[in-house]
Amino acid sequence: MVNQENITPYITFNRDDWASLRSSAPMTITEKDIAELKGLNDVLNLEEVSEIYLPLSRLLYLHARATKELYDSRNTFLRTQVKKVPYIIGIAGSVAVGKSTMARVLQTLISGWPNQPRVELLTTDGFLYPNRVLQEREIMNKKGFPESYDIASLLHVLSQLKSGNEKVTAPIYSHITYDVIPDKQQVIESPDVVIVEGINVLQPPKLIDGKAVDQISVSDFFDFSIYVDAEEKNIFKWYVDRFMILKETAFKDEKSYFNNYANLTESEALEIARDIWNRINKVNLHENILPTRYRSDLILSKGDHHLVESIKMRKI
């Protein structure tokens, strides 16, 4: 008789077991690459790439190859040649958890697959409403919440990609001005793989009075999705640490939206970082981000030192 308590939609791996799945996947990242790929206070080294990212790259390669085989079989069935559309990978998780670093590492590794696919990185920051719109709607204090994004525009871009459009444009966000850059766009041209990174990319369709307002969601366009997880106490610490680093670096730029924080004392900066976390990021994490964790195909759980400790992979 099957033990019902052990039935779960995920297969769980510890770090060692996951690392063994790398097989013969070659190491294509150097120490120099790591210095360029990692975020401000992220921890990334060759061991992490070897034990976590190379097995993940291999898994994604197998999934993408299977999708290509299905595409070929469908064309055989249809007796036609429908254009191949890009394989789309979604990466979700809290602020400061390391999504951007993960996206850049995967972009580098996937670019080294056989046939060297063209890999584009699309961040959802560009789809935040401009600050003037957020101010008009009185939701500047909810920047990063689902309502602060132009989801219709993001869905349009993803729809264009999955329709096989050879050239798609997307807005670009500046972390210096803390706003969408006017009249500047990212051009995505004939991609084989697109990595979509953002805190709310696994959000289900919006509901009002129990009824779906949107018929589709961002994740409907994903072929594979990843959630980067960690205990809240660790995410909070990483967020505060990053804030303190930014105070001594980017905030000193005269164009920085947060330039007025640059001259704060350490205790004042710590107090503001904690306040922003408690009022905004913590609330967003609990209300919107964390509830989407189990909508993903893969959950990478990080420990105290920003390194992945365990992996959950959804069963097929």
User: Which tens digits make up the pLDDT trace of 51-72?
Assistant: 999 999 999 999 999 999 999 9
Give the rounded distance of the alpha carbon of 43 from its chain centre: 17
Q: Which of 44, 59, 45, 46 is nearest to 13 (CA)?
A: 59
What predicted TM-score, i.e. pTM, was given to this entire model? 0.94
| Rounded distance between C-alpha atoms, residue 71 and residue 83, angstroms | 9
Give 257 or 84, the one with higher predicted confidence: 257
Is the pLDDT at 5 greater than 60, yes or no? no
Helix/strand/coil (H, E, C) string of 232-245? HHHHHHHHHHHHHH
Q: What is the pLDDT of residue 164?
A: 93
Are 205 and 295 contacting, i.e. CB atoms less than 8 angstroms apart? no
Q: Which CATH class is domain 4-314?
A: alpha beta
Q: Cβ neighbours of residue 255 under 8 Å, at least 6 residues apart?
A: 176, 177
The string of pLDDT tens digits covering residues 145-176 is 999 999 999 999 999 999 999 999 999 999 99
- Pairing between strand 298-302 and 308-314? antiparallel
CA–CA separation, 161 and 296 (whole Å): 21
Q: How far apart are CA 257 and CA 314, in angstroms?
A: 41
Closest CA to 117 of 126, 128, 109, 129: 109
Using one digit for the tens of pLDDT, what is the confidence trace for 170-198?
999 999 999 999 989 999 999 999 999 99
Residue pLDDT, tens place only, 208-245: 666 666 678 999 999 999 999 999 999 999 999 999 99
* Averaged confidence pLDDT in the chain: 93
pLDDT for the residue numbered 208 = 64
Phi, psi of 98 (to 5 degrees): 105, 20
pLDDT at 81: 83
Quick one: pLDDT at residue 228? 98
Residue ranges covered by each domain of the chain: 4-314
Q: If you average pLDDT over residues 260-270, what whole number do you get?
A: 95
- What are the angstrom distances between the C-alpha of 30 and each of 57, 205, 299? 16, 41, 26
Q: CA angle, 31 as apex, 27 and 35 as ends, to 5°?
A: 125
pLDDT at 297 > cutoff 80: yes
Name the nearest CA neighbour of 53 among 121, 105, 117, 107. Answer: 105
Asked if 221 and 86 touch (Cβ cutoff 8 Å), the reply is: no
Give the pLDDT score at 4: 45
Residue-level pLDDT at 211: 65
Task: Compute the average pLDDT of residues 27-45.
Answer: 89
Task: Tokens for 269, please give them.
Answer: 């900066």
Q: What is the structure's pLDDT at 315?
A: 94
